[in-house]
Chain A
Amino acid sequence: MAKKRDYSLVGESTRRAIETGLASAEWYHTEVPRKTMKELMQRSDGPAIRDTIIWIVAILGSAAGIVWFWGMWWVVPFLFVYGVLYGSSSDSRWHECGHGTAFRTRWMNDLVYQIASFMLMRNPVQWRWSHARHHTDTIIVGRDAEIAVMRPPDLLKAALAFTGILDFRYSLPTLVRQAFGTLSDDEKSYIPEMEQHKAVVAARWHMAVYVATIAVAIALRSWIPLVLIGLPRLYGTWHMVLTGLLQHIGLADNVTDHRLNTRTVYMNPVSRFIYWNMNYHVEHHMFPMVPYHALPKLHELIKHDLPAANPSMWHAYREVWPVLLRQLKYEDYYLKRELPPTAKPYRGEFHDVDITVAAAE
């Protein structure tokens, strides 16, 4: 019988991942000529400046609507828009600017990264390092700090994630703890020692803004400051979860081929704007240097070597739901992505055994 997965970053799975060579391994990449890849990697401020202006105008406009219509039913659509912009689209801005690919100009990436990190209640220092680890060891149990749905899946927890309650309950106390100077053992395992004090300072800045917001709310005897700062992390997070869960859920773990553990899903233009094209997620993981605006082109270039993209979010969730139900009983079971005949085959050394076991159950 397979051993239970230990998702801590300093436990038995960690030791096994290092021993078996799964940690910091060489990953599969589709071959792309250097000249083409260089063109795809080119940075430009234009698309991100345009999108960021739209983003900021929409945030300020919907915030103004919330203030103007507060106490009336008309406030609801403004809350809906503001919540998604604040609580969901900030995730993709955090992500792209964290990679430094959104803008060509470094300070623009850094500025938007800091703002988006605050909106998400994410420590900008801690999460930069956790995301680096996520790219080194994508869905390697015991190594990846960003596995959203662990096995066996906790479906209630996954459902509650759409409300933001669980993340809020985790993120805010985490920031408070870090502001008091305490980093967990897991955090210490991926944040280098020389960077750890920066994580504490960042947490203190975030907490200072929240304390100031609460003070303003009390002084004004109004909920509005909290509805605009902090609480959107609850009521606006659903789109981030809707799109983000699909990145890896139900797929293989402990493999070194992003085609097996990551999913590309075609999405509508609004979701793609909110998500900044991260629906092309296999492409992003294979080539994190390619900016979000070039991912559709990269997708066209390498799709012959990738599993077929899910045609919609609805299709992807329908496909993965029975897999999650089966994982409740057999946590080794997973959805194997089929490759087209034009693709290079998967390397078998890390995952063929698991597939056989899962299929036999």
Chain B
Amino acid sequence: MAEWIEACAADDVDEEDVIRFDHGGRTFAIYRSPDDDFFATDGYCTHEKAHLADGLVMDDIIECPKHNGRFNYKTGEAKGAPVCVNLKTYPVKVEAGKVMIDIG
């Protein structure tokens, strides 16, 4: 069941960048792609507990700050060692300048 929540203002995220969003004891990462689209994934790397929001966004890749593990943040696909487990992604929509994510 869908559960849309407001994560941030669209302007809070720079182009080709990521920010952290915490909600209900969970942490998420909100991305803005170079094409100005928004995406959301779990906030922690699936390899070890590191905040992806401290990492580097390059095109459609988020690189973890701890071991440089790479994911496609649009699909959640793990792109190779040291990350082997895909990242959970969440539906995103932008309404009235607010980034909404479906955590349901």
- Cβ of A335 under 8 Å from chain B: no
Interface pair B49/A128, CB less than 8 Å apart: no
Q: Is B8 an interface residue (CB 8 A)?
A: no
A288 within 8 A of B: yes
Residues of chain B with a CB closer than 8 A to A42's CB: 56
B48 and A136 within 8 A (CB): yes
Output the residue of A43, A101, A129, A289 with the most chain B CB within 10 A.
A289
* Residues in B neighbouring A132, C-beta threshold 8 A: 47, 67, 81-82
Q: With contacts A24-B49, A104-B58, A289-B68 known, is A129 near B63, CB below 8 A?
A: no
Q: Answer whether residue A125 sits at the interface, using C-beta atoms and an 8 A cutoff.
A: yes
B5 contacts chain A at the CB level, 8 A cutoff: no
- Produce 1/0 per residue, A96-140, CB < 8 A to B: 000111001010000000000000000001001100100110000
* Contacts A24-B48, A24-B49, A289-B55; A135 near B66 (Cβ below 8 A): yes
Known: A38-B17, A289-B56. A100 touches B68 (CB 8 A): yes
Q: Which residues of A lie under 8 Å from residue B48 when comparing CB positions?
A: 24, 136
Q: What residues of chain A lie closer than 8 Å to B17, measured between beta carbons?
A: 38
Q: How far is the CA of A327 from the CA of B48 in the complex (A)?
A: 33
B1 → A minimal CB distance (Å): 33
A-B contact count (CB 8 A): 45
Within the complex, which residue of A106, A195, A288 is in contact with B84, where a contact is CB–CB below 8 Å?
A195
What is the 8 Å Cβ interface bit string for chain B, positions 5-48, against chain A (1 contact, 0 not)?
00000000000010000000000000000000000000000011
Count of chain B residues near A, Cβ 8 A: 18
Establish whether residues A136 and B67, one from each chain, have CB atoms under 8 Å apart when the complex forms.
Answer: yes
- B82 contacts across to A, CB distance below 8 A: 128-129, 132
Whole-angstrom CA separation of A104 from B61 in the bound complex: 12
B70 within 8 A of A: yes
Find chain A residues with CB under 8 A from B79 CB: 106
Residues of A contacting B84 with CB < 8 Å?
A: 192, 194-195
Say whether B63 contacts A100, CB under 8 Å: yes
Residues of A within 8 A of B63 (CB): 100, 289
Shortest Cβ distance from A135 into B: residue = B67
Inter-subunit contact A101/B81 (CB<8 Å): no
Per-position 1/0 for A290-319, Cβ under 8 A of B: 000000000000000000000000000000
Do B66 and A288 touch (CB < 8 A)? yes
List chain A residues, Cβ under 8 A from B54: 37
Residues A99 and B68 in contact, CB atoms below 8 Å apart: yes
Q: Is the CB of A136 within 8 A of B58?
A: no
Residues of B within 8 A of A (CB): 17, 47-49, 54-56, 58, 63, 65-68, 70, 79, 81-82, 84
* Chain A positions near chain B (C-beta within 8 angstroms): 24, 37-38, 41-43, 99-101, 104, 106, 125, 128-129, 132, 135-136, 192, 194-195, 287-289
A-B contact pairs, 14 of them (CB 8 A): A24-B48, A37-B54, A38-B56, A43-B58, A100-B68, A106-B79, A136-B48, A195-B81, A195-B84, A287-B65, A288-B67, A288-B68, A289-B55, A289-B68
| Smallest CB-CB A-B distances: 7 pairs | A132-B82, A41-B56, A132-B67, A100-B68, A99-B68, A289-B65, A128-B81
Given known contacts A132-B67, A289-B56, A289-B68, what 11 new A-B pairs fall within 8 Å (CB)?
A24-B48, A24-B49, A43-B58, A125-B81, A128-B82, A129-B81, A192-B84, A195-B84, A287-B65, A288-B65, A288-B68
